Chain A
Amino acid sequence: DGGITQSPKYLFRKEGQNVTLSCEQNLNHDAMYWYRQDPGQGLRLIYYSQIVNDFQKGDIAEGYSVSREKKESFPLTVTSAQKNPTAFYLCASSITESTDTQYFGPGTRLTVL
């Protein structure tokens, strides 16, 4: 099956811990994105990557880090510096960064206890 997957679906973290969310795609897309969605709000861009070994900060990058060592994978680490990490995290990919159509994964719900 072609698509974009995220794991885990639900994640619980204690305050002060770092946690990494996985995002994998087998669509051969160059560009990948991480968004955060909070109840009643729109999506906000955290980081995006146009190509392997390159990534750029989005609107709310503070407290997050990413890597793009492989084309298929774009993991997001939520660090202890992120003040309000409880949210729904969505990963997306597109053929190139200039292409409008983004395909979204199923999301990961992170809850900080």
Chain B
Amino acid sequence: EDKVVQSPLSLVVHEGDTVTLNCSYEVTNFRSLLWYKQEKKAPTFLFMLTSSGIEKKSGRLSSILDKKELSSILNITATQTGDSAIYLCAVEALTNFGNEKLTFGTGTRLTIIP
């Protein structure tokens, strides 16, 4: 069965610190890895990673995929209180029927202290 594991489960840091969130996966027929930020109802899409070793960047957030290690990291530099949220990792895989399915990790709860 496909599995996505995130660590740490929760993280509390001071404003201005840099954080690294981890995601590891075991899936068959990997297609892509996605990162989401969840604050209220619907998670907000952050990044989609398909190629190993290529960093995706958006402002203070960046992410990279390591297909050899079956993992990804999400970095947030110069953290702000608005970064407090749950960060979800999800892996998209191809099923035997040729469709895609999405498996979510349990998330990392990040709290930024002013």
* A2: Cβ under 8 A from any B Cβ: no
CB < 8 Å neighbour of B41 from A37, A40, A45, A90: A45
CA distance in complex: A52, B112 (Å): 34
Does B85 interact with chain A (Cβ within 8 Å)? yes
State which size class the interface on B falls in. Answer: 20 to 34
Q: How far is the CA of A84 from the CA of B66 in the complex (A)?
A: 34
CB nearest neighbor in B for A42? B45
Would you call A100 and B45 a contact (CB within 8 A)? no
Q: B86 near A10 (CB under 8 angstroms)?
A: no
Q: Which residues of A contact B44 (CB under 8 A)?
A: 42
Q: How far is the CB of B113 from chain A (nearest CB, A)?
A: 17
B25 at the interface (CB under 8 A from A): no
A22 within 8 A of B: no
Task: Evaluate contact between B100 and A109: CB separation under 8 angstroms.
Answer: yes
Interface residues on chain A, number (Cβ under 8 Å) = 25
CB-CB < 8 A to A68: which residues of B? none
A64 interfacial contact with B, CB 8 Å: no
Q: Does B102 contact A (CB under 8 A)?
A: yes
Interface centre among A45, A58, A109 (most CB of B within 10 A): A109
Nearest chain A CB to B4 CB, angstrom units: 10
> What sequence of 0s and 1s flags, for each residue 73-92 of chain A, a beta carbon within 8 Å of any chain B beta carbon?
00000000000000010100
Q: Contact between B42 and A100 (Cβ–Cβ < 8 Å)?
A: no
Minimum CB–CB distance from A41 to chain B (whole Å) comes to 7
User: Do the beta carbons of B109 and A101 come within 8 Å of each other?
Assistant: yes
8 Å CB contacts to A: which residues of B76-111? 85-86, 95, 97, 99-104, 107, 109
18 additional contacts (CB under 8 A) given A44-B42, A100-B39: A10-B97, A35-B42, A37-B102, A39-B100, A42-B36, A43-B45, A45-B41, A58-B41, A88-B101, A90-B102, A97-B41, A102-B38, A102-B43, A106-B101, A106-B103, A109-B95, A109-B99, A109-B100
Instruction: Give chain A's interface residues, CB within 8 Å of chain B.
Output: 10, 33, 35, 37, 39-45, 48, 58-59, 88, 90, 97, 100-102, 104, 106-107, 109, 111
> What are 9 A-B contacts with C-beta separation under 8 Å?
A33-B42, A35-B42, A42-B36, A43-B45, A88-B99, A88-B102, A90-B102, A106-B101, A106-B103
